[in-house]
Each structure stands twice: as structure tokens, then as C-alpha cells.
Structure 1
Amino acid sequence: MKRGKNKFDVIVIGSGSAGFSAAETAQARGAKVLVIESGDWGGECPNSACIPTKALLKSAKRYREVTKNLEDFGISAGSVGFSFANIMAEKNKIVDLITSHGQKIPRLAKEFGIQTVKGKAVFLDQNTIVVEKKKYTAKAFVIATGAIDFIPPIAGLTELGFISYKDIMKMKKLPKSIAIIGGGAVSCEFATFFSTFGVKVHILQLDPTILIREDVEIANLATHELMKNGVEVYVDTKTLSVEKYGRRKRVTFDEGKHQREHIIVDEVMVAAGKRANVSELKLENAKVKVDDRGRLKVTEDLQTSAKHIFTAGDVSGGFLFTHTARTEGAIAGNNVVNFLEKQKSRLKRDMRVVPRVTFTNPEVASVGITSDTAGMLKKEVLIGRFPIGALGRAVTERDRRGLVKIIVDKKTRKILGGHIIGERAGELIHEIAFAMEVDCRVDVLANMIHAYPSYSEAIAGAASSLE
């Protein structure tokens, strides 16, 4: 391929899990690749989302362990406290370790022969991008700009200010109380963190349950655990306004039939979902179509309405997970090169088996469809349940909370979904996911020997208890 300065085969916009995976894949197939990043190298996950959040949650878990149940193990300790400044400093160390102080992606790009540019990318035309007044052209593009927070239209919210998960990563001191608008994974994880360290947390969720994508039975158990930790959970709740109340904020909402309820808090966090981060790209100049909500129109091979432009990751409208973003990046990287080489073959994203984890206390993990979804699809199913508290391992750990639930097609006995709440849920779910991936019957899990005493026995227990 003929190449010149600032002329590339493929330009990838975004250096996160999706973007760098696309760039690496395209470069490995011989393409000259440029990666453009406007924010932190590596994207949100290692810098302000997945990794730092889990570091904070690990500090919270350790604090719970040494303050709440040491006596159950015959251990006593003196007064235990915490330093929020030190917790944040340790979180920063983890981020620096994962990102090599922000230099991991530039270093890898150099090793792979991928060029990089820092700055905001804007399409000038179908084949030209401008970054900091410099023009770069390419035959094809991959948009991997991720997603940004959806800010609900609540009176006074923008005027009085609010915080996001990114702001929490820079927080200097804990608020005494906080209202979190939204009840998804981000909301529940931060509710777990804040409540562990004595912050009064209120979750305001518009939907009938928190963790709306999870099985209702599991979501209700998660709600119960949050409330045990002091979190106030409001569901079927529409937040109406945020007003100044001295140095604090008054949040007004309708909870079901209860109208105009109020809470007074120090801070308001918004975690009400995400939308594609494309508004500043000037996609109209590239002839890329979006729908009336600003979402990209994307095929299953991740191609946009402009045939030479592909997408990957959160921006593409699928799952908002790092692990799916990485897979989509590889698909987009292959497909964009196939396009350049005029090959008709295309890889397609296959998201039938995507495990997910919410790092609450205890963890929530799932894969596949829920029992409610099975009902809506009019599938005849069998459901297996096993209480984690019945395990010898749970008894020895002095933590008997949790449930494993498996959804099985009644006729084929193939697994349609798995749902877990409990210790190590994020690890356990992968046994169910693997069984779904290889399309085996549930009886394989039921009959396989599982080590005793281990949490994995609950998988066999649920698989053996179908009704």
C-alpha cells in the first residue's frame, strides 16, 4: 500500500481496550496505523473506571473484614480506623502499576510500529481528520471513543453541580451523605464503597429494581444486602429536582405512589447510564449516520453507514464491558483490513455468552438470559437453585449469603443463563459461561466432580436441582 507522511491505511480514534485491540490487529495484518487519543492513554477502564474502582472496593472489603466479624474466627484486635487519603493513594499506586504511569499504551504502540497522536479528533471529510490543527488522512477508520455519562434532565442538577465516578477518583474527603441517581452496576459498587466507610447513601432508581439487567431474584437479594449495610434504596423513583439547602442539597423525588419526597445530602452522584461519545467528532462530515438519539447505526460486523468506517467498544451500542470491547476491537481491526483488501468476508460479533460481574458485597455475576426473559420469549425452562449457605466452604468462611441460579431449556437441557450472588461469584460464573460456550447439557455440570469444600460445588448443586 502506498503511504506518505500523515497518510495511513487505518486511523483508530481512541486508545482504550477496543481501540488498541483494533489497532494492534490491523497493524499485525500489514496496515499502517495511527491511534488518536484525546484523554488518558488506555481509556477509562485502567485510569478512572474498572481498575481504580476495584482497588477502592478491595480497601472497603479489607476494612469490613477487620471491623465486623473477627470474633467469629476467634480473633480480637484493637481499635481499627482508616485514612481516606491513604486509601486514595493506594488506589493511585494500582493505576500507575497497571498503566505504567500512563506510558503503557505509547510504549506498546512503539514496539508494534503503531503511530500515536494526542488530541481531539474531528472529521474534516470522509478521509481526513484534524487533530490540533494538523491533518491526517486514511483509507479507513475505526471509531472507539467509548461512552460518556447520560445526564438526566433534572431541575437544578446541572446548575448546582454533581459528581461522576471520575470525580470520585479525585475526591479529597468523604462526604457525610450522598444521593446516587441510578441503580446500575456503577451506582451499586460506589454505594458499597461509601457505605462501608460510614457515608449515608441513598440510591434513587427509576426502574422497579436495582441492577435491572440482572435476574429479579438476584437483584432483590443484592438490594437486601445493600440495605443491611445501611444504604437506602428507592425504586420506581423519579428524581424531580435538586435544590440548594444551606451548604447541602435537597433532592426531591416521587417514589411510586409517594409524591414529593425529600432527602438532604452533602453530595449528588449521577450514574444513570451511558451514551455514545461521538458528539464532537463531526460525523456528518464523514457521512456517518446516527439515529435520533445520537447513536451510531452499526451492523453486526461493526460497520457504520460509511462503508470505510467501523466501530468497536462502548460507542458501538452493545455491552459496556472492557472484555467485550477488546473482542469487538479485534473484530473491527480484522474487518477494516478486509475492507481495504476488498475481501468480502467479515467477522461478526457474537455476544451470546458474555459473563458480567458487579463488585458489590457480596458479588453479583451473570451470563445469558434471566428467568423473566425466558418467560417473555415463551421458552419452556427448568430452573435450578442452590443456596451458597449450604456449602461446607461457606460455613468455614463464616459467610453463608448467596444463591446460584441456572436457567435451562426444558427440551434440550442446554443452559440458557446463569446467575449468582455470593462470595467469588465473579469467578464461579465462568464455569456456567464455559458450559454455554461449548453448548453442553446441564447434566455435564451436575455430574462433574467438584472439589470439596469449594464454592464451585454450588454450580453442581444448582445443576442437580432443576424444577
Structure 2
Amino acid sequence: MADYDVIVIGSGPGGYVCAIRCAQLGLKTACVEARDTLGGTCLNIGCIPSKALLHATEMLHEAEHNFAEMGLKGKSPSVDWKQMLAYKDKTISQNTGGIEFLFKKNKIDWLKGWGSIPEAGKVKVGDETHNARHIVIASGSEPSALKGVEVDEKTVVTSTGALELGKVPRKMVVIGAGVIGLELGSVYRRLGAEVTVVEFLDQITPTMDGEVAKQFKRMLGKQGFEFVLGAAVQSVETKGGKATVHYKLRKDDSDASLEADTVLVSTGRRPFTDKLGLDALGVELERGMIKTDDHFRTNVAGIYAIGDAIKGPMLAHKAEDEGMACAEGIAGQHPHVNYGVIPSVIYTHPEVAAVGFTEEELKEQGRAYKVGKFPFMGNARAKANFAGEGFVKLLADAETDRILGAHIIGPMAGDLIHEICVAMEFGAAAEDIARTCHAHPTYSEAVREAALACGDGAIHV
């Protein structure tokens, strides 16, 4: 048995960041993880491996569609799927190994195994029980189940199985038009699969700004995506390595079906808190999520929770922010997480990124606002790089000009959004961005132009 100041349960982005920050602040820290590698879902079977496959297939798309026009002649590359998966696995091992190095550097003990909390102040891992003044639950999330659909991770898969398919399917049905489904659908569409997305609601990515969602769907359609919206999946039948998706159209209650080689179920995720012993401890839950106060404290003294296990968007960077803030609070500091400035990104091509309010939300609030938009077709760098589709949209208060939100669909949107995040953290006005010199030629000039459009008008449109 060992005594610790802090034991963190889970080594995903929230957990490992919390553990490292605790150690940096002088707290004796351990982290519980049952996987053979650190990094949680994100590094092992989520964010990182999916981005590797997205990058590889985007390079394939460039070679097939744009190389010849740039004067790069020759036979298009063939796909070695096994080698692509090996590249993905190498990317995973480099990143998970990096976290293990950071644990050693910061003298964090890795308690290998499944953790539970038999009582406040104690964490059991295997046959050993450890004492801790503070326990942080960072147990993450798992794919949500869908009634009538049995996942085998071979023919009917979650994101986990979709990263390990034995071969590229000829036909894929994606259930759910959210981030995960569209990203992984993009991977297989570029590899030649026929991809059909079945969504219960009447639009894709329902929390996204409506104008961006409409443009996004149109762009994906041009890439070959098929969409069946307003459809409630009833069941999935499998036979002989094939699948049939049965669904009901909500508009007329009619039945229909789709055949597929692979069905990807991407209908969201739910907090993973099984076997922690929360019921016996009396830790309060709310709709399956651990209930916490503004300092990540549960109703049981000495027990905290962060990341996907608590309310809020299930994003790795949100968990990281909470991990740092939780650690700093335990150390006696006074941290703060600004939930109004947490960006979201979809890593398709083009990328989609957002922060702050959507137009729909501002209208619902009855708030007076103005819109500054600029198309990437007016950006010289984007046109040179075959990336002229999409736009930057800035929302600002009609009276004060303070930035309220931003929505970008276009090249490097996931990187461009952070200029606006910084501006919002400092309470900046659109004019502040408009009067800031931006290097030419860069994609970031489109952000400045959108800010100019909130005032007297953009220059290059």
C-alpha cells in the first residue's frame, strides 16, 4: 500500500494532464490505467489514430485529383491498407510512449489495472489498496448503444472497430451524422467506399451553425456522400459478413433498408463509470454523468471528476482544461475554465471549426448582433492550394462589437479558430482583429477579412 496526495483514475487527456499538473505543483501523484498503454480513448482508439487515417487519405485525394494540374505527373498511388494501418499504429505508439515518458519525468506512478473506490480516501487496483487525500475520476466515455443494433466490431462497428477493418468496404452505412461518423466516413469514402449516412434529425451536425451545416452537407455531397435524413434506424441484420440496415422515415412513417459491407454506429458517447463503486459511495449522478460543483468536487469529500464523465462537450481539450484546473484547485490555487470559449473542430476536408454562439442561439436569446463573412475564394493562398471552398463567419454584438462567436468551414479551420478564441478570452471586438496585421499570403487573412466585414466591409470581396 502506498500513500499519495492525488490518485487520478484514467489516463486519457483529462487524466494524464491532471496527473502531470498535480506533480508539477509538488503533489505526490499516481494514475490508474488498465490499458497496456497510456492516453485513454483519444490516443489509442480515438482522436489520434483517426487523424492519422484522415491525413493519409487526404494525401491520396491530393494525388488523385490535384497533382496533375500542378504538373506532378505519373501513376496515381495504390493503397496498401495494411501499411496504412501500420502507419496509424506507429502514430499511436509514438504518442502513448510520449505520455509514459512524461509520467517518468514527473515521477508519477502508473498503477496498472482497473481502479475502484471502496471508500473515500482509498483506491483499489487489483489486490492492492492505496491511500489518497484526493481522488480524481477521469474515466472517460464509451460509444452509446443503439436499440436494435448489436455491435460485433467486424461487420457492425463503433469507431473502435472502424479503425481496424480487415479491408476497405465496398459499401458503408454510417448511423449518425455527427463528428465521428463524418470523419471516419470521409476516410473510407476517399478510399473508394460508397458511404451513406443515416441520421435521425433533419440536418447533419445538429449543434452546428445552420448556415455552416448546410454548406458542409453540400460539400460532402460533392465528395460522394449520400445522406438519408429524418430516418430512425430500427435494426441491423447481419448475415455472411454483410449487413442490412432497416430504418423508418419520420416524414411518412415508411419503411426502408440499405445493404452494406460495414455499418458504423456513431450515435454519440456516454460516460464510462462502471465498476468504480460510485453507487455504494453515494456519489451523485445526473443523467448518467457525475455531478460536480464549479471546482470539480463531487458530493463526497475528497472525490473529484473531470472530462467526459461530467457534463459538457465530450472533447479532449475540454477534459485537459478541466484536468489542469482541478489539479490547481487541489493545490490551493484559484483556476477557472471558460466554457464559453471551448472550440470544436471536425477534421474532414474541408475542416469545420466553431467557438461561441451560433446565429440560431443568438436569435433565440433575442440578442442584437451583426455578421461578418468572407469566402475563401477571395483568399489568394486558398485559391493557390485548391482550397477555395468555404468561408469564415464572425458574429459580434451589434452595439459593442464584442466577438460572440465564430464559424469557419475551409482550409486549416481547426487552427484558424484559435486566433478568435484568444480574442474572445480578452473580450476583444471584431475591430481589434480587423486592425491587426496578418501575414500575406496566409489563410488567416480570411479571418481578418471577416472581421472587416463586421465594420465598413472586407477588402477582397
TM-score range, shorter chain: over 0.9
Contact 2:296–2:305, Cα closer than 8 Å, also in 1: yes
The yes-or-no answer on 1:414 pairing with 2:402 is: yes
Match of 1:15 among 2, 11, 27: 11
Task: Name the counterpart of 1:342.
Answer: none
> 1:37: how far off?
0.6
Structure 1 stretches of at least 4 aligned residues deviating more than 4 Å after TM superposition? 155-161
- 1:248-397 equivalent positions in 2, closer than 5 A: 248-258=242-252, 259-291=254-286, 293-338=287-332, 346-397=334-385
Change (3 A) 1:132 1:270: same
- From the superposition, tell whether residues 411 and 289 of structure 1 become closer, same or farther in structure 2 (CA, over 3 Å): same
C-alpha contact (below 8 Å) 1:406/1:462 kept by paired residues: yes
Aligned with 1:172 (options 162, 166, 173): 166
Query: Is the Cα contact below 8 Å between 1:127 and 1:286 reproduced in 2?
Result: no
- Partners of 1:120 and 1:376 lie apart in 2 by 45
**CA, structure 1 residues 16+157, in 2 after alignment: closer, same or farther (shift >3 Å)?**
closer
The CA deviation at 1:457 is 1.8
The CA deviation at 1:260 is 0.9
SS in 2 for 1:335: helix
Contact 1:160 1:242 in 2 (8 A): no
How does 1:85-234 map onto structure 2 within 5 Å? Answer: 85-100=82-97, 104-154=98-148, 162-234=156-228
| RMSD over aligned Cα atoms | 2.0
Q: Matched residues in 1 for 2:77 and 2:102: separation?
A: 42
Given that 2:151 and 2:157 are in contact with CA atoms closer than 8 Å, whether structure 1 keeps it comes out as no
Residues of 2 paired with 1:111 and 1:387: CA distance? 46
Worse-matched range after superposition: 61-70 or 280-289: 280-289
Distance 1:20 1:403, change over 3 A: same
How many Å separate the matches in 1 of 2:153 and 2:72? Answer: 50
Q: Which residue of 1 aligns with 2:459?
A: none
Cα deviation, residue 213, structure 1: 2.1
Measure how far apart 1:6 and its partner are. Answer: 2.1
| Structure 1 residue 67 displacement after superposition | 0.5
On the 8 A contact 1:142/1:336 being kept in 2, the answer is no
Instruction: Indicate the residue corresponding to 1:74 in structure 2.
Output: 71
Contact 1:64 1:196 in 2 (8 A): yes
Distance 1:27 1:227 in 2: 48
Distance 1:156 1:165 in 2: 14
Cα deviation, residue 16, structure 1: 1.7
Q: Contact 2:14/2:323 (CA < 8 Å) preserved in 1?
A: yes
Change over 3 Å in CA distance of 1:244–1:93 after alignment to 2: closer
Partners of 1:466 and 1:37 lie apart in 2 by 49
- Normalising by structure 1, we get a TM-score of 0.92
Listed one character per residue, the Cα deviations across residues 238-272 of structure 1 (whole Å, up to 9, x for unaligned) are 11111235541111112342521210011111111
What amino acid maps onto 2:83 in structure 1? N
Unaligned 5+ runs, structure 1: 339-344
- State the Cα distance separating 1:79 from its structure 2 match: 4.1
Instruction: Give yes or no for contact 2:140–2:307 (8 Å, CA) kept in 1.
Output: yes
Please state how far the C-alpha of 1:157 moved relative to its aligned partner: 5.8
The yes-or-no answer on 1:405 pairing with 2:393 is yes
How many residues align structurally? 453
Identity %: 30
Per the TM alignment, residue 32 of structure 1 is displaced from its structure 2 partner at its CA by 2.3
- One-letter code aligned to 1:41: L
In the TM superposition, what whole-angstrom CA distance separates every residue of 1:43-65 from its partner, at most 9, and x where no partner exists?
A: 12222211111111111111001
Q: CA deviation at 1:229?
A: 1.5
In structure 2, the partner of 1:242 is: 236
Q: CA deviation at 1:307?
A: 2.5
Cα distance change on mapping 1:444 and 1:155 into 2, 3 Å: closer
Q: Distance in 2 between matches of 1:274 and 1:434?
A: 29
Give the stretch that moved more between structures: 202-211 or 60-69.
Answer: 202-211
Aligned AA (2:242): R
TM-score (norm. length: structure 2): 0.93
Residues 259-300 of structure 1: CA deviation (Å, up to 9, x unaligned)? 212100111111111111102211123221112x32111112
Aligned to 1:29: 25
Q: CA deviation at 1:110?
A: 2.8
Looking at structure 2, the residues matched to 28 and 399 of structure 1 have their Cα atoms a distance apart, in angstroms, of: 42
Matched with 1:341 is none
Q: CA deviation at 1:122?
A: 1.7
User: Which amino acid is 1:73 matched to?
Assistant: M
Q: Which moved more, 1:373-382 or 1:219-228?
A: 219-228
Whole-Å Cα distance in 2 between the matches of residues 327 and 300 of structure 1? 13
Kindly provide the CA deviation profile for residues 307-335 of structure 1, in whole angstroms up to 9, marking residues without a partner as x: 21111222122222222211111111122
Q: Which amino acid letter does the alignment assign opposite residue 287 of structure 1?
A: G
Query: Aligned partners of 1:159, 1:34: CA distance in 2, in Å?
Result: 33
Q: 2:415 aligns with which of 407, 427, 446?
A: 427
Map Cα deviations across residues 401-444 of structure 1 (whole Å, 9 max, x no partner).
11111111101100100001111111211122222111111112
**Higher alpha-carbon deviation: 442-451 or 259-268:** 442-451
Q: Secondary structure at the match of 1:209?
A: coil
Shift of 1:155: 5.2
Structure 1 residues 241 and 159: CA distance shift in structure 2, 3 A: farther
- Rounded to whole Å, the distance in 2 between the matches of 1:309 and 1:401 is 48
The answer to whether the Cα contact below 8 Å between 1:364 and 1:426 also exists between their aligned partners in 2 is: yes
